[in-house]
Amino acid sequence: MKVVILAGGFGTRLSEETGLRPKPMVEIGGRPILWHIMKTYSYWGFNEFVILTGYLSHVIKDYFLNYYTRYSDITVDMETNTVEVHQHRNEPWKVTMLYTGPDTMTGGRLLRAQEFLGSERFMLTYGDGVSDVNIPALLASHEKAGKRVTVTAIQPVGKFGSLDIDGGNLVRSFMEKPEDGGTWINGGFFVMEPDIFRYLDDGDKTILERTPLERLAGEGQLNAYKHTGFWKAMDTLNDKNILTGMWTKGEAPWALWIK
């Protein structure tokens, strides 16, 4: 199953770090947060990624094009123009990078990936948040519910999309960033059926978190997987410093692959 990652925004609230690189390439402990997100999925056996780029897309492309040599031990013989690799450090990943434009909205970016996703179920997440979410349990929740979309619901200090969830984990309503806050919020880490694309009918201007998810909730087609573990988005420099501190101290709850 493919994992789609939204990685095309400007990251204006993290402008101290995003002048020369896109937000998903801001580093935690010397590795881009995008790498941390991909390692989470890879830990659970999901290794095929579709990255939807936009702002400074070449930085992401260059990172993966040079990944092999970046993290391997090599000797470069400049006289003979040869390279000897001593220690291989790579990942079992297949990475497709799609340029979806600098100003395209989240739903529009996803719509541009339709031909690469085909008629298969896929996962979707944002390129700026880490979590110890149990991906197989998320998928099982989606399969059991039988809905078009499952969203991971979390309970941090609220400033994101509010979810009204009934006793059967069915999302009754979806409201993006309500003024009065909310108990359960949109934490990303979605599972989606391919007919999600018929909800993205405003082209590049489609904001996934607005009309599409609101419609799905209204139709009873938006399932919630409640995650009570660790989750944190990297929205500001303070968020970045908090995550870096956790990683440096060896106390990064999302780093399941090193536990």
Q: DSSP state, 132?
A: -
What is the pLDDT confidence band of residue 17, given thresholds at 50, 70 and 90?
confident
Query: What pLDDT shows up at residue 208?
Result: 96
pLDDT, mean over the chain: 91
**Predicted confidence (pLDDT) at residue 116 exceeds the cutoff of 80:** yes
Q: Round to whole Å and give the CA distance between 219 and 208.
A: 16
Secondary structure of 177-224 as H, E, C letters? CCCCCCCEEECCCEEECHHHHHHCCCHHHCCCCCHHHHHHHHCCCEEE
What is the pLDDT confidence band of residue 10, given thresholds at 50, 70 and 90?
confident
What is the identity of the amino acid at 91? E
Q: DSSP state, 118?
A: T
User: Domain 2-258: which topology?
Assistant: Spore Coat Polysaccharide Biosynthesis Protein SpsA; Chain A (3.90.550)
169: Cβ–Cβ under 8 A, 6 or more apart, which residues? Answer: 141, 145, 223, 224, 225, 226
- Sign of torsion, CA 139 142 144 148? negative
For 81-101, how does the pLDDT look when each residue is reduced to its tens digit (9 = 90+)?
A: 998 988 777 899 999 999 999
What residues pair up with 232 in beta bridges, in sequence order? 130
For 177-207, how does the pLDDT look when each residue is reduced to its tens digit (9 = 90+)?
A: 654 455 789 999 999 999 999 999 999 999 9
- The domain limits of the chain are 2-258
**Predicted confidence (pLDDT) at residue 157 exceeds the cutoff of 80:** no
